[in-house]
Chain A
C-alpha cells in the first residue's frame, strides 16, 4: 500500500485536502442542515469522479470500477444524509 500511496501521492493529497475542507465546512455551517446536505452531495459526487479520474489516469478502468465508486459514494452519502434528517 505504501508503494501505491507514493505512486499516486498527488491524487491522494487532493482527496485528503478536499475531505478536510468539506468536513470543516460541514461543521461550520451547522445547524443549517440544508447547506450540510449540499456538502454531502458534493462529497459523494466528488469522490465518484475522483475515483474515475484516478483509474482513467492509471489505465485501470472498467465498468466494475465505475460501479464500485458509485456504490461507495452512495453508501457514504446516504449515511451522512440520513443523519441530518
Chain B
C-alpha cells in the first residue's frame, strides 16, 4: 500500500505532489540527470574490470575487409576512378600498425615513439612513390565507416585520390584505452615500379617518397581471401601477420572475423538506458496532460507538449546516433 502511494506520488498528479507528478518536478528531473550521468560513469568504469567487461560489455563489429574494399571501390567508381588492388605487403603493414597501436595503446597516425605510417610500409618491404593512411575505430557497420570517411574532406580526398593504385587493410579487435574495440587501418600506396611502368617522368626516388598528409584511402582488393590466406609475413621486417584462422590472442587481440563474442556494447547499453528514461518521462507527461485535462485544475507549470517535443527529439537523435571515430 505504501509503495502504491509512493508510485502515485511520482506519476499521478494529486494533492501530495501539488497536482504535478513528482517525477516532473525540477528537483526530481535534476536528480534524474545525475542518475543518467552516474550510470554513464558506471559503464565507463567497466574498463577497469576487464574480466567483467568481456563477459558483459564488449564491442561487436560487422566490418569486414571485403565490404570495406567493395564500398571504397564503389565510391571511387562513382567518381570515375579506377578501383584499387589489394596488396599483401600493404595489408601486412596495416596489420603491423594496428598491432602497434594496441601494443603501445595509442590512437594516432604517429606512434608515441615517433613511428609514422610510412615506416610500417617500408618495414613491409614495399617501395612506394606515394602512400597514406586512414584510421577508424568503434564502427559497428562498414557502411557507417565509409560514410564517415566520405564526410570528412581529408579522408574523402584519400579515398578519391586517383594516384593510388594499391591498398592494404587490417581489421583487428582488441582493447584500446581500456575498451574493447575494432580498429581499421587502411594503407594506400603506389609502388615505384608501377609508376615507372606508366611512364611517369616525375617518379621520385623510393628513398624520398611522396607523402599525402597522414590520411589515405582504402583500395579495393580483387580477392579478400587472398589477403587472409596468403603468407603476409614480410621477411626481415618484423611484420607478422596471421594466416587464416589464427588469432593474436596472446597479444590481446584478434583479426577481423575471428572474435565473435557479442555482447552489449557500452554505446548500446547507454542508448537503452537513456531511451528508458526518456520514455518514462514522456509517458508521465502524457498521463499528466490527460489527467489534468480532465480535471481542469489550475496550475502554473511548464508546457508538457514542449517537453514532449524536446524529449522526442532527443530520443530520435539517441536512436540514430552512430558511434565510431576516424583519424
Contacts and interface: CB of A to CB of B under 8 A. Distances in A.
B184 to A, nearest CB: 13
Interface of B is mostly: helix
Contacts of A60: 300
Contacts of B321: 30, 83-84
A80 B26 CA distance: 19
A30 B148 contact: yes
A3 B32 CA distance: 31
A76 B318 contact: no
B313 A75 contact: no
A76 B270 contact: no
B141 interface: no
Contact of B148 (A31, A47, A71): A31
Contacts of A27: 317, 320
Interface in A12-67: 12, 15-16, 19, 22-23, 26-27, 30-32, 43, 47, 50-51, 54-55, 60, 62, 64-65, 67
Contact of A68 (B26, B270, B316, B322): B26
Task: With a 10 A CB-CB cut-off, give which of B26, B37, B304, B311 has the most chain A CB atoms.
Answer: B26
Nearest to B313: A19
Interface stretch (B49-57, B66-74, B108-116, B271-279): B271-279
B322 A31 contact: yes
Task: With a 10 A CB-CB cut-off, give which of A15, A16, A31, A60 has the most chain B CB atoms.
Answer: A31
Contact of A65 (B277, B300, B309, B310): B300
A80 B322 CA distance: 12
Contacts of B206: none
Contacts of A76: 310-311, 313-314
B37 A64 contact: no
B240 interface: no
Given A74-B33, A75-B36, A80 B300 contact: no
A72 B29 contact: yes
Contacts of B281: 75
Interface string B1-42: 000000000000000000000001111011011001100100
A75 B31 CA distance: 9
A1 B285 CA distance: 12
Nearest to B325: A31
Contacts of A5: 305
A22 to B, nearest CB: 7
Interface string B285-321: 0000100010000001111111101110110111011
B274 A83 contact: yes
Interface in B233-281: 267, 270-271, 274, 277-278, 281
A30 B322 contact: yes
Contacts of A26: 317
A78 B37 contact: yes
Contact of A23 (B30, B301, B316): B316
A51 B304 CA distance: 11
A71 B26 contact: yes
B326 interface: yes
Given A12-B306, A83-B317, 13 more contacts: A15-B310, A19-B310, A31-B148, A31-B151, A47-B306, A47-B310, A50-B306, A51-B302, A60-B300, A69-B302, A71-B27, A71-B29, A82-B36
